[in-house]
Structure formats: structure tokens, C-alpha cells
Amino acid sequence: MASHLVVTSRLTATSSFFFFFFLCLVARHHLEAAEYTVGDADGWDTGINYLLWSNKYNFTVGDVLVFKYVQVQHNVYQVTEETYRSCDSSTGVTRTYDSGDDRVTLGEATSYWFICTINGHCQAGMRLAVSVAKSSSDGGGATSAAPSPPEQDNGAAGGRMGWWWKAWMLCLSLCLLTWLNCF
Ligand SMILES: *[C@@H]1O[C@H](CO)[C@@H](O)[C@H](O)[C@H]1NC(C)=O
Ligand SMILES: [Cu+2]
């Protein structure tokens, strides 16, 4: 009798742990994804030091840059580092934006370069470089250390049932993650 209770509570604890562990990952992912208006209140314009602006923030995967400017007066070209340095947009252009309210999702842990190609604006400093760090996984400690304790749970009596619970909870969590567009 007593041992059944113990096994049941261990199973419940294990499955709860897994459920909340994945819920945690989801929450972290969504809390960490931030939206940045380039240049803050100044927006995307001439006469602003975007190196200073980009140094104020740490960008992580999933963050969004919003370029706000008067349409036609400026534009946003996503370019290679070389083109960012030369301001010569005849080559090295990955994407172009011109809506005046352009949202760019920083989808990868890499560097991104943007310039404005209207007459001399890039040379005058209208260019932005950001380097993007990995999101939840590079937090190290918290996420990588957490999963080890429950492995010991898989002991004598409740072993098989525990496995089914873990699998089920994992499946549920994956569905949840997919539903919340985490992939
Ligand atoms: C950015 O990250 C660095 C190094 O981890 C840290 O020292 C700094 O405080 C962070 N800056 C912001 C604005 O979060
Ligand atoms: Cu411009």
C-alpha cells in the first residue's frame, strides 16, 4: 500500500517535472524574444550613430529589428560585411526593404549588416551591424543542468510506467512547442 503511494507520487513528480521543464523552455523563449526599434525614438535616419545604438543591447535569436523611417527617403538593405564596409550595394545584397516600417527577424546566431542605399547615406553613417547570440541554449547552467536528476527516478517498481509517462509528457510538450511556433 505505502509503496504504491510512493511510486505514484514519484511518477507524478517526474511527469510534472518534465512538463514544467518544457513549459519553462517555452516561456524563456518567448520572454527573451524582444523587439528593438533601430535608433529607438530617432528611428532609421541620417546623423545617428548606429554603432553606439547597437552596443546598448544584446541581441538573441528570435529578436526583431524594426526600421522606422519615411518611405522613399531611406531604405534598408541587408548586406554582407564587405558591402557594409564599402557601401557599394552593386554586390553583396541579401534582402531589401522599403516599407518605412520594416520588421527583420534575427533568426540565426550570426552577424547581420544593414545599410541605406540612398545617396551617400551609408557613407554618412546610416549602417548597422548587429551580432546575434543563441537564445535559451547558451544560457548554460539552468537549462543544461536541470534534466539529470529524474534519471535516477527510473528505479525498480515504477520503471516501465515512468517511461510511458515521460514519453507522453515529452510528446505533449513537443506539441505545445510546435503550436507556439518555437521551431
Ligand atoms: C550584454 O552582455 C554582456 C556580456 O554578457 C553584459 O556584460 C552586458 O551587461 C549585457 N548588456 C545588456 C544591455 O544586457
Ligand atoms: Cu537613408
Mean pLDDT by 10 residues, the chain (183 residues): 57 59 57 89 97 97 97 98 98 98 97 97 97 71 34 47 72 59 55
56 Cα nearest atom in ligand 1: 13
Phi, psi (5° rounding) for residue 4? Answer: -60, -45
Cα of 100 from ligand 1 centre, angstroms: 30
Distance 30 CA to ligand 1 centre (A): 19
pLDDT at res. 162: 73
In terms of C-beta density within 10 A (0-12 exposed, 13-18 middle, 19 or more buried), how is residue 114 classed?
A: buried
What pLDDT, on a 0 to 100 scale, did the predictor assign at position 33? 83
Q: Grid coordinates representing 121?
A: 547615406
What pLDDT does 182 receive?
A: 55
Contact residues of ligand 1, CB 6 A cut-off:
57-58
- Tell if the pTM clears 0.95, that is, is over it: no
Nearest residue (by CA) to ligand 1, atom 8, is 58
Distance 112 CA to ligand 2 centre (A): 18
- For residue 148, the model assigns a pLDDT of 34
Looking at the CA of 117, which ligand is closest? Answer: 2
- Beta bridge partners of residue 127, listed in sequence order: 115
* Ligand number nearest to the C-alpha of 133: 1
Q: If you take atom 4 of ligand 1, which residue's CA is the nearest one?
A: 58
* Cα-based angle 107, 59, 18 (whole degrees, multiple of 5): 70
Strand order of the β-sheet with 93-97 is 59-60, 127-133, 111-115, 76-79, 93-97
Looking at residue 179, its pLDDT comes to 63
CB 94 within 8 A of CB 64: no
| Ligand at shortest distance from the CA of 39 | 2
Q: Which CATH number fits domain 34-134: 3.40.50.10470, 3.30.70.260, 3.40.190.290, 2.60.40.420?
A: 2.60.40.420
Residues 6+ apart with CB under 8 A from 155: none
Ligand 1, atom 7: closest residue by C-alpha: 58
Every domain range in the chain assigned CATH 2.60.40.420 = 34-134
Spatial CB neighbours of 31, under 8 Å, sequence gap ≥ 6: none
Given a contact cutoff of 8 angstroms between Cβ atoms, the answer to whether 66 and 103 are in contact is: yes
Scan for cell 518544457, then name that residue: 22
Half-sphere exposure of 100 (CA within 13 A, CB side): 5
